C-alpha cells in the first residue's frame, strides 16, 4: 500500500543531500558575516530548492508537477524576499542568536548543527508530500482535492502576504511604537500570517494527495502546524509580546489566537 514511499528512497536522499549542501554553504557565509539571522530568509527558498532538485532528479513532466513547482516557488520568492528585506533593515543579528553566542563560546561551529543542519533536515521532512508527488507519474486530470488544495493555498498565501504587509506598514509608523496592531487581518487573528502559512501547507498537501502512499505523509502538514503554533511561532512570540506590549493582554481577550474569527466587542464600563 505504501511501497511508493520506499520506491523513491534514493531520490529523496538526493534531495536531503541538496538541502544539506545549501545549508552548509549558507553556514560558511554566516561565519564571514558573523551573523546567522539571514538564515530565516532562506527557510522558504530551501523548500523550493528541494522541489526543483526532486523535479530534475526523477519527476515526470505533468500539469501537477508544474503546478506544485509554481506554487512553492511563488511562496518561496515572496516570503524569502520579505524576510531578506527585514534582515537588511534591522542591521544587527537577531536577539535569539545573540543570546546563543553569549551562552555558547563555540556558537559559530555549534550553529552548523543546531541552526543550519537542523533546518535542512526539517525542511526535507516537511517537504516529503511534495517530493513524493513530484516523483510520481500523476498525469491523471485534476480532481476535487486538487481544487480544494489550490483554494487553500491561495487563501493562505493571500493572508500571509497581506498580514506581513500590514505589520510592516504598522512598524514603519513611529507613532505606533509600543502599540498593538489590531486592525485589518490582525483584528480577526493575533497571528494571521502564521495561520495563512499553515493553511498554505495544507493546501499543498491536498494537491499532493494522489495516492494511498501520499496519505502517509500527513505528518508533514501536521508537524508544520504544530511547530507554527507551539514552537517557533504563536506561543514563542506571545511570551515576548505580553511582556513588552502593555495592551497585549486586552488584545488577547478580544482576538482569536490563530484561526480568524470575528473579534469580541469591548465591554464598556
pLDDT for 139 beyond 70: no
Cell 529523496 sits at which residue? 12
Q: What is the CA radius of gyration of the chain?
A: 20
- Sequence length of the chain is 269
Greatest mean pLDDT among 30-39, 96-105, 212-221? 30-39
Residues 135 and 162 in one domain: no
| pLDDT (0 to 100) of residue 32 | 93
In this structure, the answer to whether residues 176 and 126 fall within a common structural domain is no
- The whole-number pLDDT of residue 9 equals 85
Going by C-alpha positions, the residue among 178, 195, 188, 193 that lies closest to residue 241 is 178
Alpha carbon distance 25, 49 (integer Å)? 13
Residues 200 and 109 in one domain: no
Residues 134 and 71: beta-carbon distance below 8 Å = no
pLDDT score, position 204: 96
Q: Alpha-carbon distance 262 to 193, whole Å?
A: 17
Domain termination residue (choose one: 122, 139, 156): 139
Has residue 162 been placed in a domain?
Answer: yes
Q: Are residues 129 and 152 in the same domain?
A: no
* Whether residue 160 sits in one domain with residue 127: no
pLDDT score for 144: 93
**Looking at residues 74-88, what average pLDDT do you find?**
95
Claim to verify: residue 64 and residue 155 sit in the same structural domain: no
Calpha distance 191→199 (Å, rounded): 12
Residue 223 included in any domain: no
Cα angle 204-165-48, degrees, rounded to a multiple of 5: 30
- Residues 126 and 3 grouped into a single domain: yes
Residues 66-87, mean pLDDT to the nearest whole number: 96
- Structural domain that includes position 44: 1-68+79-139
Residue 269 is predicted with a pLDDT of 40
- As for how many domains the chain has, the answer is 2
pLDDT at 1: 42
At 81, the pLDDT band (50, 70, 90 cuts) reads: very high
Residue 3 pLDDT: 47
Residue 164 lies inside a defined structural domain of this protein? yes
Answer whether 115's CB lies under 8 Å from 36's CB. Answer: yes
Phi, psi (deg, nearest 5) at residue 47 = -65, -40
Are 101 and 177 in the same domain?
no
Instruction: Tell me: do 103 and 34 sit in the same domain.
Output: yes
Query: Model confidence over 155-203: pLDDT tens digits?
Result: 999 999 999 999 999 999 999 888 889 999 999 999 999 999 999 999 9
3-state secondary structure of 41: helix
Residue at which a domain ends, from 139, 162, 186? 139
The alpha helices in the chain, defined as continuous H runs, are 4-7, 9-33, 43-58, 63-90, 95-103, 107-111, 118-126, 128-135, 144-172, 192-208, 212-215, 219-226, 234-244, 248-254
The reply to whether 108 and 199 lie within a common domain is no
The closest of 233, 26, 42 to 111, measured between CA atoms, is 26
Amino acid at each position: 500500500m505504501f511501497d511508493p514511499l520506499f520506491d523513491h528512497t534514493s531520490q529523496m536522499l538526493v534531495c536531503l543531500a541538496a538541502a544539506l549542501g545549501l545549508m552548509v554553504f549558507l553556514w560558511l557565509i554566516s561565519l564571514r558575516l558573523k551573523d546567522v539571522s539571514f538564515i530565516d530568509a532562506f527557510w522558504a527558498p530551501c523548500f523550493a530548492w528541494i522541489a526543483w532538485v526532486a523535479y530534475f532528479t526523477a519527476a515526470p513532466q505533468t500539469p501537477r508537477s508544474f503546478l506544485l513547482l509554481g506554487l512553492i516557488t511563488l511562496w518561496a520568492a515572496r516570503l524569502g524576499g520579505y524576510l531578506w528585506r527585514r534582515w537588511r533593515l534591522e542591521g544587527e543579528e537577531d536577539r535569539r542568536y545573540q543570546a546563543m553566542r553569549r551562552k555558547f563560546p563555540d556558537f559559530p561551529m555549534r550553529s552548523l548543527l543546531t541552526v543550519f543542519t537542523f533546518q535542512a533536515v526539517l525542511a526535507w521532512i516537511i517537504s516529503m508530500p511534495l517530493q513524493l508527488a513530484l516523483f510520481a507519474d500523476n498525469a491523471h486530470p485534476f480532481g476535487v482535492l486538487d481544487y480544494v488544495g489550490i483554494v487553500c493555498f491561495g487563501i493562505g498565501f493571500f493572508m500571509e502576504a497581506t498580514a506581513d504587509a500590514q505589520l510592516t506598514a504598522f512598524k514603519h509608523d513611529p507613532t505606533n511604537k509600543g502599540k498593538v496592531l489590531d486592525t485589518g487581518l490582525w483584528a480577526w487573528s493575533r497571528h494571521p500570517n502564521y495561520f495563512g502559512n499553515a493553511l498554505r501547507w495544507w493546501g499543498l498537501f491536498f494537491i499532493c494527495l494522489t495516492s494511498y502512499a501520499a496519505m502517509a505523509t500527513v505528518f508533514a502538514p501536521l508537524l508544520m502546524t504544530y511547530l507554527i503554533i507551539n514552537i517557533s511561532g504563536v506561543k514563542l512570540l506571545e511570551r515576548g509580546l505580553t511582556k513588552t506590549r502593555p495592551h497585549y493582554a486586552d488584545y488577547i481577550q478580544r482576538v482569536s489566537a490563530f484561526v480568524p474569527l470575528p473579534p469580541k466587542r469591548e465591554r464598556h464600563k
